[in-house]
Amino acid sequence: MKPKVKFSVALLYLSPVIIFYSFIFVLPLILVFLQSFGLYSLGPMKPPKFTLEYYLKFFDLKGPYLESLWFSFWNSALATVIISVISFFLAIFFYFVNFKGKSFVSATYKIPLFIPYLISAFAWWNLLSPGGYAQRLLAATGIVNPNMLLVNDPNGIGIIVANVWMNFPYMVLLITGTLKMIDPTLIEAARTLGSTFWKSIFKIVLPLSMPGFLAGSILSFIGMFGAFSVAFILGASWPQYMSISIYNDVTQFSEYGMASVQSVIYMISAILITYFYTKIIARLQGERR
């Protein structure tokens, strides 16, 4: 039987960790939140004064900030959908199919895991920029117009391509780990009863792997939604990710209040996404019981 420890004693032992994380994580978030309401100033000293000016400016339908938020959202969401589809079928392939050289292929697709985002973004910029190898190949095969921009474009094509390449290995690993926890006799029983392979995949494997599938999707989306380096190198001057808007507001315009509001919106978005994710997972687990 494990000995019981008093709460006060446990708190005393944990106090160094609590204090450390409070200063490097909790306190900065509180200051950002206060600054979004004008109650704290990181830039030029101003007397603290409660104001909704920054939030009203952010939610101005004619302003640039909502467009920046929408661009960040749909661009990341589209990349997440592509990542999810590619990763699911790759995980199925590597889990069920055995072939010569499988370990080599498996190691190859994991290469993006070991390359920093900044370097990956610059590599894709060289490949997709006008005159780059990938751009010239796509133009030669007629897939794209020779004059079509694939980087620094208003549609964020380069951002999507780079994000998919850099994030799908994470999701493949997550889904593969989930597949290993599924009882293989379920699939064998389905096949014995006349189910085809793909029917077994979509009727048995997909529902049972949904927690890992959703976890990978959410992690990928949040990571791309708040990313900076890929959007900074491959994005256009406008529209731009909200992370770039925050950077510009701080470095070029000294608009610390607007930067704080956008940061708060980022945090609220992440919290809401996590909340709905936990609700969906709880519902799926409840149905499985």
285: pLDDT confidence band, cut at 50, 70 and 90?
A: low
Q: Say if residue 241's pLDDT is above 90.
A: yes
Q: What share of the chain in percent tops pLDDT 70?
A: 95
| 263-267 average pLDDT score | 93
pLDDT of residue 40: 86
Q: Say if residue 54's pLDDT is above 60.
A: yes
Where is pLDDT greater, at 196 or 265? 265
| 194-222 average pLDDT score | 86
Note whether 212 and 225 are within 8 A (CB). Answer: no
Q: Which CATH number does 58-288 carry?
A: 1.10.3720.10
| 67-85 average pLDDT score | 95
What are the domain boundaries of the chain? 1-51, 58-288
43: pLDDT confidence band, cut at 50, 70 and 90?
A: low
| 48-63 average pLDDT score | 92
1: pLDDT confidence band, cut at 50, 70 and 90?
A: low
This prediction's pTM: 0.87
| 98-103 average pLDDT score | 84
Note whether 150 and 161 are within 8 A (CB). Answer: yes
| 82-111 average pLDDT score | 88
pLDDT of residue 288: 55
- Give the amino acid at 98: N
What mean pLDDT, rounded, does the chain reach?
87
Q: Say if residue 45's pLDDT is above 60.
A: no
- Provide the token pair at 133: 């190898």
Neighbours of 4 (CB within 10 A): 7
